[in-house]
Every structure is written in structure tokens, then in C-alpha cells.
Amino acid sequence: MSRVKTLQSLFKRYRRPGDIVFAWVVLVFSVFLLSQLFEQTAYQSRGKLVAQPRFWPAISLIAMTGFAGFHLLGSALSERLSGRWGEVWHWVKSVEYAGWFIAYAAAVPYAGYLPTTVLFAVLLCLRVGYRSAKMIGAAIASSFVVVLLFKTLLRVNLPAGRIYEALPDGLRQIMLTYF
């Protein structure tokens, strides 16, 4: 077996099926950011070039756009891989959990930290396929532990739920302070 490697074998890279879609997305995003450079940064008439507020963002965005262009060129000139849209769909599915987090953060000021945490833990438990009473109980128990840890032990200030206003005075104060 020969130990001599060609340049092509040295620079061969593993490609994913969605590589060209990723290359296009990054290129479009970097061109958009580059187009916003003059609106989002300032130029000062005094001072050195490297001290300008626009200089380093411009360098980084020009480099990002250039490397994104090279990535797209490399992807376009490579052989076509099957399964591109399956790979892209996998990326889109992962964004679902960001949506869950945004919904959770939006619900906390209305329903309160404890009820929202319990509700979303159970919903996510069901979403990922754990439907046994044991797993749902574990989700509820871990929710209580998280809430007690953050709100009671660490004293993290979180918005009180508007739902707590409907509770009797004594219980309302306990829920506002500890849950």
C-alpha cells in the first residue's frame, strides 16, 4: 500500500446531503449582514483605520461572505448527494424546540413559574414519546425540583404569574415567594 497521498485525497472532505442548502443559507445571510454594515455601524472622521467602529465588523463580514462563497462553490462543484431535503427537514425539526422554549417563556408571566414548568415538562415528555405514568411522574417531580432550586434556594427573580392573583392572600404570598 502506498503512503503517497495526492492533493485531492488530502483535501477530500465529508459532505452531508444538505451541504449546498446550508451553503446558500449562509451566503445569503452573510450578504444581508454585509449590506447592513453602513446603517448599523458608524464612521468617525478622526482616529486610525483599525480603531474605526466599522473596521472589524467589515473585516469579519467580508471574510464570512468570502468563505461562504467558497463553500457554495465547493458544494456546487462536488458530486450531487441524495437525501438533501431529508437533511434539511431534520434541521427544521430541531427548530421546534426553540418554539417550545419561546412558548414557555411567554406563558410564565401569565400562568406562573410552577404551573408552566409542570405543564411544559409533561407536554414535552408526551411530545418525545414517553407516555407511561412513571415517566410523566418523573417529569412532574423534576419540575418541582427545578422550581424549588431556582426560586427558593437560588432566589432567582422570575415574573409572578397573573393566575396567582386569584389565590387567597396567604397562599398567594407563598406562591409568589417560593413558586
Alpha helices in 78-132 (DSSP H): 84-94, 96-111, 113-127
- Say if residue 4's pLDDT is above 80: no
pLDDT bin (cut points 50, 70, 90) of residue 94 is confident
Is 161 in contact with 109 (CB distance < 8 Å)? yes
Contact predicate 15/75, CB 8 Å: yes
Instruction: Work out the average pLDDT over 112-127.
Output: 95
Other CB atoms within 10 A of residue 62 CB: 13
- 79-83: long-range contacts, CB 8 A cutoff, minimum separation 24: 81/15, 81/16, 81/17, 81/19, 82/17, 83/17
Section 71-95 average pLDDT: 85
Give 33-80 pLDDT, tens digit per residue: 999 999 988 877 777 887 788 899 999 999 999 999 999 998 888 777
Length of the chain: 179
Cβ atoms of 111 and 161 within 8 Å: the answer is: yes
| Calpha distance 153→28 (Å, rounded) | 46
The average pLDDT across 146-155 equals: 89
* The residue to which cell 421546534 is assigned: 96
Confidence of residue 155 (pLDDT cuts 50, 70, 90): confident
Average pLDDT, the chain: 88
8 A C-beta contact, residue 161 and residue 116: yes
End-to-end CA separation in angstroms for the chain: 68
DSSP of 137-166: HHHHHHHHHHHIIIIIIS----PPPGGGGG
Instruction: In whole angstroms, give the CA distance from residue 70 to residue 88.
Output: 21
Other C-beta atoms closer than 10 Å to the C-beta of 67 total: 13
Average pLDDT over residues 92-118: 93
Q: Model confidence at 146, in pLDDT bands (50, 70, 90)?
A: very high
**% of residues, the chain, pLDDT over 70:** 92
Q: How far is CA 97 from the centre of its chain?
A: 9
**What residue segments make up the domains of the chain, in order of their start?**
7-91, 95-178
pTM, two decimals, is: 0.62
Q: What is the mean pLDDT of residues 146-163?
A: 87
Residue 175 has pLDDT above 60, yes or no: yes
